[in-house]
Structure 1
Amino acid sequence: MKISVIIPVYNAEKYVSKAVESALQLDEVFEVILVEDKSPDNALQICQELAQKYDQVKLFQHPDQENHGAGASRNLGLEKVTGDFIAFLDADDYFLPNRFTAEKELFKNPKTDGVFNAIGTEYLTEKGKEEFLSNINDNYLLTVNYPAEGNEVFRGLLGLTQKIFGSFFTLDALTIRRSSLESSKLRFNEALRLHQDSDFIMKLAHHCHLKSGIIDQPVAIRGMHDDNRITKIVKYSPQYNQRQFLFWNSLYEWSKTLTLEKDASQHIYLQKKAFELSTKKGLSKTVDLLVTILKNPNILRTKYRFTYTHS
């Protein structure tokens, strides 16, 4: 296997060396693509040193050398890769030695476009641990509940399977055939500053045949620290609701261009509508809610039940 690992780098001078070296220790890794996104810290210099030290490490910045976010940085990385397979790694996370163990077997089947695995959690600071446990409250192992592949992965991520599929798997645990990604013409939504990874995974699960790999033990570790933006957003706060609306609206606009199963398209619409309502205030919010309930009472079965009391 010739795997290209894309690492977007922002404000990660303390962690990026470990991330890069965790990838380079794996025989399957053909190259590491660093995309430095105008970090406020010393990350650029660290990246330059890594590129000088290791022939497999290639460093890029955006043409204007400005900050464009993780989605745009990953898209730039996708333009630069030359390997047959693509993996992603956040600059404050790292791979474990078994990262591509499942891939070496599962990609022997030409039907398999992508493989996803489980990742673990490491608390790098006490404050990061506190914020993670209070706002995310996730388990140590981020994984799914049972093996799955194909359309069941897409439906599972939407919560439409008979059995509870489980959490989102993350980019750190995902490997994709480069040819499959190019065929789908899928890229990250650069308008999303948060949740572009979840948005990408949902769309990928529809366009490509994904298969679960190692789901009962971690193949990578996510680092939780003071600067994790996602852990600072309190669930069902106005900021959380707005971010969720942007995420579901991205999926909704994408779904309008496709012929999805009816329950899938309805679920995406109702989630989008629920968080759209949660961002409104006053009389217009009440009227819009009543109209929506009359048209489709299933709106009350969405996450809106947690947010409708916010004014």
Structure 2
Amino acid sequence: MKISVIIPVYNAEKFVTQAVESALQFDEVYEVILVEDKSPDNALYVCQQLTEMYDKVKLYQHPDKGNHGAGPTRNLGIEKSTGDFIAFLDADDYFLPNRFDAEKELFKDNNVEGVYGAIGVHYYSEKAKEQYYPIFGDKLTTVYKRHHPKDVFPGQIYMLGSFGLFSIDALTIRRDSLIRKMSTLFKSSLRLHQDTEFLYRLSYYLDLYPGILDRAVAVRGVHENNRITMVDSKKINPASTRVLLWKEVNNWAENEPTIPDHIKLHIKRMYRSFDIANSPLSKKWGMILKYMVSDYHSIRSGIYNINFRKNLF
């Protein structure tokens, strides 16, 4: 196997060395491609040092040296890759020693176009653990059962939480299948959840097989400045970001003639439900209902209670 590991780098000077060295522990890793996305910290300098230390490490930036987000940054890494297989790794995450154990066996079958596994969690500080442990705990992010490849796409769309999740850090893909079957890779229109949208489409076009699901093959690093961590913890409004995600999924489904009508209808309903939930009117009445439950006695004492009127008007 010749694996290209693609690492988008943004504001990760403290973590990127660990990510790179976790990838270089494997003989199967042919190259580590760093794509620096105009970081505000010293990540570019750290990346340059890594290219000097390790022959397998290659460094790229966007042609305008600007900030384009994780999606276009991963796309540039795919474009520059030369391995037969592609694996992704976020710059603040890292691989475990068993990362490619299942892949080495499964990819002997040419019908296997992709393999996914489970990831664990690591808290980089006590502050991060204190803030985010109630959200992530010590649990695995994984698909809960071993599914046939044809069931992976509908499972993600219909079953959502009961199906489980696989992360891009635990995904390995045949490069030729990806390029041949996916006319669009990561969407530049999404700043967040672009990996989730990509995984939906990927699981529709490619046959993805389960690897190791009962123990972690990679680790997600949780720290205070991780953007997706802030979304999951509701520091960034998750409803608004999911509206954009499902809008993109819906646009794709509407323009993909091979998707069955019942799946298109379900995707449209998902998009509409998030869109309605995020509307100003829904937010206002949500606040009113929440207040009515939490301060019912005050409301009984007078509809003109100032807090209630503030939410109502």
Shift in Å, 1:125: 1.6
Q: Does 1:33 align with 2:33?
A: yes
Shift in Å, 1:164: 3.1
Name the residue aligned to 1:250: 248
Cα pair distance change 1:157/1:230, threshold 3 Å: same
Q: Does 1:223 align with 2:218?
A: no
Tell me the TM-score normalised to structure 1 length: 0.86
Shift in Å, 1:131: 3.5
Shift in Å, 1:127: 2.8
Aligned ranges 1:255-294 → 2 under 5 Å: 255-258=253-256, 259-282=258-281
1:132 match: secondary structure? helix
Which portions of structure 1, spanning 4 or more consecutive aligned residues, are displaced by more than 4 angstroms? 234-238
Cα pair distance change 1:21/1:310, threshold 3 Å: farther
Q: Greater share of helix residues, 1 or 2?
A: 2
Post-superposition Cα deviations, 1:85-112, rounded to whole Å, max 9, x if no partner, equal: 0000000011111111101111111111
Distance 1:21 1:137 in 2: 25
Aligned ranges 1:68-107 → 2 under 5 Å: 68-107=68-107
Aligned ranges 1:70-219 → 2 under 5 Å: 70-134=70-134, 136-137=135-136, 140-160=139-159, 164-166=162-164, 168-184=165-181, 185-219=183-217
Report sequence identity in percent.
Answer: 52
Distance 1:238 1:31 in 2: 35
The aligned amino acid for 2:105 is E
Unaligned runs of 5+ in 1: 287-308
Distance 1:248 1:138 in 2: 27
Q: Which has the larger radius of gyration?
A: 2
Cα pair distance change 1:276/1:45, threshold 3 Å: same
Distance 1:123 1:95 in 2: 15
Tell me the TM-score normalised to structure 2 length: 0.86
Cα pair distance change 1:249/1:279, threshold 3 Å: same
Shift in Å, 1:190: 1.0
Name the residue aligned to 1:296: none
Cα pair distance change 1:128/1:267, threshold 3 Å: farther
1:159 match: secondary structure? helix
Post-superposition Cα deviations, 1:21-59, rounded to whole Å, max 9, x if no partner, equal: 110110110000000011111100000000111110000
Cα pair distance change 1:247/1:130, threshold 3 Å: farther
Distance 1:27 1:237 in 2: 40
Unaligned runs of 5+ in 2: 286-310
Cα pair distance change 1:125/1:237, threshold 3 Å: closer
- Alpha-carbon RMSD: 2.4
Shift in Å, 1:228: 1.1
2:55 match: secondary structure? coil
Do the aligned partners of 1:69 and 1:190 also contact (CA within 8 Å) in 2? Answer: yes
Cα pair distance change 1:82/1:139, threshold 3 Å: same
2:6 match: secondary structure? strand
